[in-house]
């Protein structure tokens, strides 16, 4: 969603701002803008609807060598995507960029009768409010910002500069992340550390309720109540290669293909192939605490939710005396759900910033339930607020559609489940098949990707003309089918829905006709025969069936069989999901859509 960048130093601010905004493009946006201020207080505000190239074209006509500025990519919430609604917003001598939502903006607007509003945004109201306290430089800008924020209800990450003092940027955060990059005679700002990579490795993550005054050689952080904060400088681990396409046409394909390596990172130091023992340091639970667990709540949105569903199917197979409930964060936060004693909550999020997931985390914590993060983005809000956690360590995921994170989230949760089972005294022999397959999985993933990559291009091409798809599976193949359908719809815009095969006769079978194709995940195992019968039911109604299977037995006449060769039995559905990922990718390429930034979507959904 919206992105923020800022710069104060001795270099050209426009250059950093544009390159920083480009790094944040993956988050999803529909307009962009920057403002820079010269030494003698002349501001250059440039905004454009649409992609950053549009902004760059305008900047090329107004090139400046200013040394301070702020920039923004906007994902519309209040007001349509347009130049007037794009940030930065100006009010008097100040300029503001804002991520988040000002909930009481209408009430605040009422108090600003003299201000001539030019946009429909809540953010412009905040700019006007700050300006009213700033009173054209009669008060320090930082004080004006604090006074205004004390009246605000909602979420924000903001950066503010003034023409009166082009040496300082004031930033503040409540619910929307901001990272300050510490340089030599220069200070950077971004809503996501990836914009800082290559400029500095030293970062300060601002906390909620903090305000900072940035100059090129100082960073002063206080709370809104004026208590000084001693900031912790942390190292940014990401490197440039991790945020570049590395020879691939799209990040989505790169991230699908990276899975053999990214999963190795998830497993590193956590699983002993010889003894079969899994050890996770991050959750910080003793064996006694693990033994006591009776209930797991798994919370996530989108792909993270599907990862939780799939992990739940596995964990209950080998962990005795446990119930598992996987919930959609945006629903769960408003339910009156009872959480039984001896529960643990797994909070699953690639970005660690998803607003609904974060809200659930806070609600669950209030009830005294221990929370464990299954998070990718290091230093993210969820990672910082959970009681303990296991980072999945897959590196930056840039494409909006989540792929490598899914695989590693499932396995990280299964490993957590194994630690519970170990503590509960489950024999090593019973857990061994799971551990053995997890250890082998990175190489099995590599083999399957090689095996099916070329053929998926052709298979996807065959189904380009369809507008509807039904994904079907049983057991562990069912949540996997849900994830496959999500992948297809989010990038190729084909209307795709997943059903548990057993539900077919309760409704979806009525859909089968020439407008639909059916993607069937058919792993070997005890449900195989039942699923084959279901396939026959679809074929009997003239279905256009594609089968993804690891079985050599399948002999029905269907339009396409994608056979994967693997020694994995329990986790074969995870390998089938690679096929779904590639299918969605090649379908989108065939249709000529924007692969990495699908319309209307954002990588990190930081508003409700």
Rounded CA separation 154/152 (Å)? 6
Rounded CA separation 495/467 (Å)? 6
Sole window of 319-327, 361-369, 397-405, 526-534 interacting with ligand G6P (rule: CB under 6 A):
397-405
| 350 lies in the site for ligand G6P, by CB under 6 A | yes
Sole window of 95-103, 124-132, 300-308, 559-567 interacting with ligand G6P (rule: CB under 6 A):
300-308
β-strand pairing of 43-49 with 169-174: unpaired
| 351 lies in the site for ligand G6P, by CB under 6 A | yes
Q: Which residues contact 304 (CB under 8 A, 6 or more apart)?
A: 348, 349, 350, 354, 357, 374, 402, 405, 406, 409
Instruction: State how far the alpha carbon of 171 is from the alpha carbons of 10, 39, 141, 263, in Å.
Output: 20, 20, 11, 37
Size of residue set near ligand G6P by CB under 6 A: 16
Rounded CA separation 101/156 (Å)? 6
| 400 lies in the site for ligand G6P, by CB under 6 A | yes
Q: Kind and range of the H or E element at 181?
A: strand 179-182
Sole window of 116-124, 194-202, 396-404, 457-465 interacting with ligand G6P (rule: CB under 6 A):
396-404
| 94 lies in the site for ligand G6P, by CB under 6 A | no
Q: Which is nearer to ligand G6P, 6 or 598 (CB)?
A: 598
Q: Which is nearer to ligand G6P, 145 or 361 (CB)?
A: 361
Tokens of 541: 């109604």
Q: Which is nearer to ligand G6P, 448 or 602 (CB)?
A: 602
| 606 lies in the site for ligand G6P, by CB under 6 A | no
| 326 lies in the site for ligand G6P, by CB under 6 A | no
Catalytic annotation present for 603 = yes
CB of 285 to ligand G6P, least distance (A): 23
CB of 439 to ligand G6P, least distance (A): 25
Tokens of 297: 């709540």
Q: Which residues contact 368 (CB under 8 A, 6 or more apart)?
A: none
Q: Site map for ligand G6P, 243-282, x if CB under 6 A?
A: ----------------------------------------
CB of 56 to ligand G6P, least distance (A): 25
Q: Which is nearer to ligand G6P, 590 or 601 (CB)?
A: 601
Q: Which is nearer to ligand G6P, 173 or 404 (CB)?
A: 404
| 349 lies in the site for ligand G6P, by CB under 6 A | yes
Rounded CA separation 122/118 (Å)? 11
Put the strands of the sheet holding 370-375 in their side by side order. 323-328, 295-300, 343-349, 370-375, 388-391
Sole window of 174-182, 302-310, 311-319, 565-573 interacting with ligand G6P (rule: CB under 6 A):
302-310
| 604 lies in the site for ligand G6P, by CB under 6 A | yes
Which is it for the CA torsion 538, 544, 549, 553, positive or negative?
positive
CB of 409 to ligand G6P, least distance (A): 8
One of 33, 302, 475, 525 touching ligand G6P (CB under 6 A): 302
β-strand pairing of 202-205 with 179-182: antiparallel
| 601 lies in the site for ligand G6P, by CB under 6 A | yes
Look at phi and psi of residue 372 and say left if phi exceeds 0, alpha if psi is from -120 to 50, else beta.
Answer: beta
Sole window of 78-86, 287-295, 347-355, 495-503 interacting with ligand G6P (rule: CB under 6 A):
347-355
Q: Which residues contact 114 (CB under 8 A, 6 or more apart)?
A: none
CB of 243 to ligand G6P, least distance (A): 16
By C-alpha distance, which of 154, 74, 147 is closest to 111? 147
Q: Which of 2, 216, 360, 370 is catalytic?
A: 2
Rounded CA separation 207/229 (Å)? 10
Tell me the helices (H) and strands (E) count for the chain, helix number first. 17, 24
Tokens of 282: 């991050």
CB of 89 to ligand G6P, least distance (A): 26
CB of 357 to ligand G6P, least distance (A): 5
What is the residue whose two structure tokens read 């939780």? 308
Length of the chain: 608
Catalytic annotation present for 360 = no
| 597 lies in the site for ligand G6P, by CB under 6 A | no
Sole window of 130-138, 233-241, 301-309, 568-576 interacting with ligand G6P (rule: CB under 6 A):
301-309
Helix or strand or coil: residue 126?
helix
Rounded CA separation 59/33 (Å)? 10
| 605 lies in the site for ligand G6P, by CB under 6 A | yes
Q: Which residues of the shown chain bind ligand G6P in the complex (CB under 6 A)? A: 301-304, 349-351, 354, 357, 400-402, 601, 603-605
The catalytic residue positions are: 2, 603
């Amino acid at each position: 969603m919206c992105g923020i960048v800022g710069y104060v130093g001795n270099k050209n601010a426009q250059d950093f701002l544009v390159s920083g905004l480009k790094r944040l493009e993956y988050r999803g946006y529909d307009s962009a803008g920057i403002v820079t201020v010269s030494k003698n207080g002349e501001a250059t505000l440039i905004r454009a609807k649409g992609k950053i190239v549009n902004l760059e074209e305008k900047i090329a006509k107004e090139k400046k060598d200013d040394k301070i500025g702020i920039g923004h990519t906007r994902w519309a919430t209040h007001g349509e995507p347009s130049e007037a609604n794009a940030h930065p917003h100006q009010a008097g001598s100040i300029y503001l960029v804002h991520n988040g939502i000002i909930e009481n903006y209408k009430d605040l607007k009422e108090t600003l009768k003299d201000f001539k509003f030019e946009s429909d945004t809540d953010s412009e109201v905040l700019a006007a409010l700050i300006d009213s306290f700033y009173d054209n430089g009669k008060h320090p800008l930082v004080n004006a910002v604090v006074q205004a924020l004390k009246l605000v209800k909602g979420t924000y990450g903001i950066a503010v500069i003034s023409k009166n003092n082009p040496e300082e940027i004031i930033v503040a955060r409540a619910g929307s992340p901001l990272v300050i990059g510490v340089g030599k005679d220069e200070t950077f700002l971004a809503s996501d550390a990836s914009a800082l990579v290559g400029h500095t490795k030293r970062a300060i993550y601002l906390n909620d309720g903090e305000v900072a005054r940035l100059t090129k050689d100082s960073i002063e952080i206080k709370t809104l109540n004026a208590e000084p904060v001693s900031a912790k400088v942390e190292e940014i681990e990401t490197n440039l290669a991790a945020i570049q396409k590395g020879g691939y046409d799209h990040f989505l394909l790169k991230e699908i293909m990276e899975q053999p390596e990214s999963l190795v990172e998830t497993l590193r130091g956590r699983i002993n192939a010889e003894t079969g023992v899994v050890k996770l340091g991050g959750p910080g639970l003793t064996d006694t605490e693990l033994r006591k667990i009776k209930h797991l709540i798994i919370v996530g949105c989108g792909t993270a939710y599907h990862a939780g569903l799939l992990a739940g199917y596995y964990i209950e197979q080998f962990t005795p005396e446990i119930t598992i409930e996987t919930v959609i964060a945006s629903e769960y936060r408003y339910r009156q759900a009872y959480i039984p004693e001896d529960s643990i909550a797994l909070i699953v999020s690639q970005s660690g910033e998803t607003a609904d997931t974060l809200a659930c985390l806070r609600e669950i914590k209030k009830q005294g339930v221990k929370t464990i993060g299954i998070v990718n983005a290091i230093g993210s809000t969820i990672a910082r607020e959970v009681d303990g956690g296991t980072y999945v360590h897959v590196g930056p995921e840039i494409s909006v559609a989540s792929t490598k994170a899914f695989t590693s989230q499932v396995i990280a949760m299964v490993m957590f489940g194994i630690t519970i089972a170990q503590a509960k005294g489950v024999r090593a022999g019973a857990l061994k098949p799971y551990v053995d397959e997890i250890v082998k999985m990175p190489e099995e993933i590599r083999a399957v990707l090689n095996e099916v990559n070329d053929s998926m291009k052709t298979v996807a091409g065959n189904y380009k003309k369809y507008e509807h798809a039904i994904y079907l599976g049983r057991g562990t193949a069912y949540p996997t089918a849900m994830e496959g359908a999500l992948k297809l719809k989010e990038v190729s815009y084909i209307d795709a829905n997943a059903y548990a095969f057993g539900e077919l006769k309760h409704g979806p079978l009525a859909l089968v006709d020439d407008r639909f194709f059916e993607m069937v995940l058919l792993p070997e195992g005890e449900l195989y025969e039942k699923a084959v019968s279901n396939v026959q039911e679809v074929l009997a109604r003239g279905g256009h069936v594609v089968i993804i299977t690891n079985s050599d037995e399948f002999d029905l006449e269907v339009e396409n069989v994608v056979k994967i060769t693997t020694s994995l039995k329990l986790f074969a559905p995870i390998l089938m999901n690679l096929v779904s990922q590639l299918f969605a990718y090649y379908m989108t390429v065939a249709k000529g859509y924007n692969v990495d930034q699908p319309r209307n979507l954002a990588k990190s959904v930081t508003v409700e």
